Structure 1
Amino acid sequence: MKNLEKYFDLFDQSRTSEQAMEELVSLFSDDIVFILNGHEKKGIENWKLFVKMIFQENSDLKHMFEGWKKVEGTDLFETPWAVCGKRSSGTVYTQTGKDIARLNDDGKISYLENVPDNANMFANYKN
């Protein structure tokens, strides 16, 4: 659970800090499965490419989340989140949604599903 609590802060910090990026990557298993708008990607290298794409498209980001809670009857956790960002083009935006996650036996994030309220949020992500 500790890794989930660190996730959003490290994600935001890793845009400008290599140390934060290393810490962020260390939260995940090498065989991470992540879902963006229903599209499944696998592996830590694909996840790092996704983060790189986010940072290329945004000059600033700030996430807020309510707190991770166990989904009753499952091995999943979820939290509502909100993000405000400034795109590289200079325009600003806000977005809300939820993340669903699973931890492996080592406490690393092995599954992460991003469910934005706006289904077009990651429409540009083609990796």
Structure 2
Amino acid sequence: MENLQKYFDLFDQSRTSEKAFEELSGLFTEDMTFVLNGHEKHGIDQWNQFVKMVFQENVDLKHMFEGWVYEEKEDLYVTPWAVCGKRKSGEVYTQTGKDFAKLDTSGKITYLANVPDNTDMFSDYKK
């Protein structure tokens, strides 16, 4: 669960730090799966492309999360989150949602689903 605790901070730091980006990428397995608004992607390369796309669209981001809780019935961890951002256009925004994650036996993230309350948040990310 240590990798989940690092996830949001490293995501935010990755905007300006290549070292943080590499550490963020290292939290995941190579064959990880992530889901954005129901669109499933596979592999660390797809994940890294997504993160870079987020930082091309935004000049600043800050995530907050309540804390990861294991849901035994679903066999995954979940946390509510909130993000405040500023787009390159100058527009500021907030968003809330939940993340769902699974870990392998070594603690690396194998699955991450981002479920924003506003389903338009990643509507343009379908590549």
CA displacement, residues 3-52 of structure 1 (integer Å, 9 cap, x when unaligned): 00000000000100011001000000000100000110000000000001
SS at structure 2 position matched to 1:80: strand
* Structure 2 residue matching 1:49: 3-state secondary structure: helix
Match of 2:96 in 1: 96
Residues in 2 aligned to 1:93 and 1:76: alpha-carbon distance in whole angstroms: 29
1:38 aligned partner: 38
Match for residue 27 of structure 1? 27
CA distance in 2, matches of 1:36, 1:74: 19
Match in the other structure for 2:124: 124
Q: TM-score with structure 1 length normalisation?
A: 0.98
Partner residue of 2:58?
Answer: 58
The alignment's C-alpha RMSD in Å is: 0.7
Question: Could you tell me how far apart the structure 1 residues matched to 2:74 and 2:83 are?
Answer: 27
Indicate if the aligned counterparts of 2:39 and 2:126 stay in contact, CA closer than 8 A: no
Q: How many residues align?
A: 127
Which runs of no fewer than 5 residues in structure 1 stay unpaired? none
TM-score by length of 2: 0.98
Question: How many Å separate the matches in 2 of 1:82 and 1:40?
Answer: 22
| Consecutive aligned runs of 4 or more in structure 1 exceeding 6 Å deviation | none
Deviation at 1:64, TM superposition (A): 0.1
Counterpart CA distance in 2 for 1:14 and 1:67 is 20
Q: Aligned letter for 1:95?
A: Q
> What is the distance in 1 between the residues matched to 2:125 and 2:8?
20
Amino acid aligned to 1:30: E
Q: How many angstroms apart in 1 are the aligned matches of 2:90 and 2:63?
A: 18
Once residues 15 and 21 of structure 1 are traced to their aligned partners in structure 2, the CA distance between those partners, rounded to angstroms, is 8
